[in-house]
Amino acid sequence: MRGRIFFLLAVVGVALTAGIAHAATVRVGTLVLHADGGFEPRLLPRHRFAPIRFQGYGQIKTTDGSKPPALRHVKVEFDHDGRLTTTGLPSCPISQLQGATTAEARQRCRGAIVGSGHVGAAVDLLGLARIDLRVPMTLFNGPRIDGNPSVLGHARAPFPISETYVIVAPIERIRGSIYGYRSAFDIPPIAGGLGSLTRIDAKIGRRYRSHGSKLSYVSARCSDYVLQTEGFFEFADGTIIYGSAFKPCTPKP
């Protein structure tokens, strides 16, 4: 039977000026999802957008040490006080990443890199052994899809099955909502279906120039003292976890 869990990730610091807020953890049976993140600077204009850098991580594990169910689908919505800018930023064709090593991908689309990090996975070799992998991940500004910008996530796992993973995440603008953007994407099978995602961490941010102007890939303002994100995560065993995370900001005087 499909399981449904509703939760609130109250990731709020002790004070609005705190540099690090508390992490959030939710448990569903033996499945544990642990996440945290933040952005800098926290001091932001109230009405205009200013450049920021975002970093965060998520960990998926079980209380009994078994391999967690595979994450299959993700949907994330971002606060309307955040902004994504891709004007004049080079984009990376999906074909340039398919089959590429990490070094090849970064060389081919160097100008389109908007973030980097790592992904971790647990792979059961048909009950014979378990292998825990951690490989570099790169985020690229991707091609427009149905008129919307996209992010391409690239990772290469050399063992136990040499595979290149490319995730295409379109970013849709939302109107008339507390959220400004929505991205929904599928997680491809890992190691031919033998693996499960266990961790992801990333730093996102890129400043660049276009036609003489200084631009930032991600920027934000602080109109109501908080930036909010909502996530939806669907696992292969039918478990669905979704809720909201809040991060404080301080408006400039």
Q: For residue 114, give Cα distances in angstroms to 105, 163, 207, 239.
A: 13, 23, 9, 31
pLDDT tens digits along 119-146? 999 998 876 788 999 999 999 999 999 9
What is the pLDDT, as a whole number, of residue 212?
92
- Whether 150 shows a pLDDT value over 50: the answer reads yes
Query: Rounded CA gap, 143 and 150, in Å?
Result: 6
* 243/179: higher pLDDT: 179
What integer pLDDT is reported at residue 151 of this predicted model?
A: 97
Average pLDDT over residues 67-76: 95
Which pLDDT belongs to residue 23? 64
Per-residue confidence band for 216, with pLDDT thresholds at 50, 70 and 90: very high
Gap between the Cα atoms of 218 and 206, Å rounded: 7
Tell me the mean pLDDT in the region 161-173: 92
